[in-house]
Structure 1
Amino acid sequence: MSAPTLQEFQEQVSELLLRHRSLLDVMTKYSQSNASVNRAVSKSITECGCIELSAKQQGFSPDLELDEAKRQTKSHMTGELCEQCADIIRSEMGKNLFYLSAYCNLLGVNLEEVVTKESEKCSTLGWFNLT
């Protein structure tokens, strides 16, 4: 079975969303699901320990060439997610995507269009998109 397109997923969410059809409900469920993703990542650091976090200033300088700046910046993370943590995070991200799709449905926004336009913007603006 092939992966569903964003449009197919958005239609599926529309069919399944029964309980939280209010825009306010979806807004708060989306926010809550986002917090759950962040919590799952935090637990992979603090409880499991499969990844570690050591953050400090990036040391970015506007004088650096773009390729050098990219090589110099770090994620502040070491290690890799274990399968259990990865499964939990994927699950939480799935719920987050579900509520993002529901949000789009209620507002009449096509998620695939959003992704396409953002991708086009990234392609056109490149690094300048991030400033």
Structure 2
Amino acid sequence: MKDVIYDDFQNAVNDSLLRHKSILDILTKLGESSARINRAVAKSTTNCGCIEVNAKKQELNMDENSDLSSLKASLSTHLEGELCDSCRYIIEKEIGNNLFYLTSLCNLLNLNLYDILLREYDKINTLGKYTFR
């Protein structure tokens, strides 16, 4: 059933893309939408203040008794606070635009978004913590 949602979304994107049919248009719009996500997150910090970024060097305190769980627990996201409703709405909108152009790229290259998601999901489940991204 879930694959139907992805296929429907991919078909809807294909039907609604009019102005930016060129691969060059789609690639540049995808890059632009990624930048707009970055900008929206930055503005949540600098303009709104609902989140704060407190970044510093990640300290990896590994010894012979350490395991991956303790390593993961020792790493920080550098993020404090929660998105306010306004910032959440803007970031969700920008991520939606990014998904639109990513799906448009898949359509032009005759790639199935659901199949890509499944392969990535299988890789994560197979390798587990050892994917190290």
**Do they superpose with TM above 0.5?**
yes
In the TM superposition, what whole-angstrom CA distance separates every residue of 1:5-45 from its partner, at most 9, and x where no partner exists? 12111110000001100000000000000100000000000
Q: Structure 1 stretches of 5 or more lacking a match?
A: none
Matches of 1:8 and 1:117, distance apart in 2: 19
Sort the Cα spacing of 1:62 and 1:114 in 2 relative to 1 into closer, same or farther, 3 A. Answer: farther
In the other structure, the counterpart of 1:32 is 32
In the other structure, the counterpart of 1:60 is 60
Structure 2 residue 27 is the aligned partner of structure 1 residue 22: no
The code of the aligned residue for 2:13 comes to: V
In the other structure, the counterpart of 1:44 is 44
- Partner SS state of residue 52, structure 1: strand
Matches of 2:102 and 2:47, distance apart in 1: 28
Sort the Cα spacing of 1:38 and 1:21 in 2 relative to 1 into closer, same or farther, 3 A. Answer: same
Task: State how many pairs are aligned.
Answer: 129
- Partner SS state of residue 76, structure 2: coil
The code of the aligned residue for 2:89 comes to: D
In the other structure, the counterpart of 1:7 is 7
Answer with 86-95 or 61-70: which moved more: 61-70
In the other structure, the counterpart of 2:126 is 124
The code of the aligned residue for 2:30 comes to: Y
C-alpha RMSD of matched pairs (Å): 1.5
TM-score relative to the length of structure 2:
0.92
Matches of 2:115 and 2:96, distance apart in 1: 19
In the other structure, the counterpart of 2:111 is 109
Report the CA distance between 1:62 and its aligned residue: 5.1
- Partner SS state of residue 78, structure 1: strand
- In the TM superposition, structure 1's runs of 4+ consecutive aligned residues that sit over 4 Å from their partners are none
Sort the Cα spacing of 1:62 and 1:21 in 2 relative to 1 into closer, same or farther, 3 A. Answer: farther
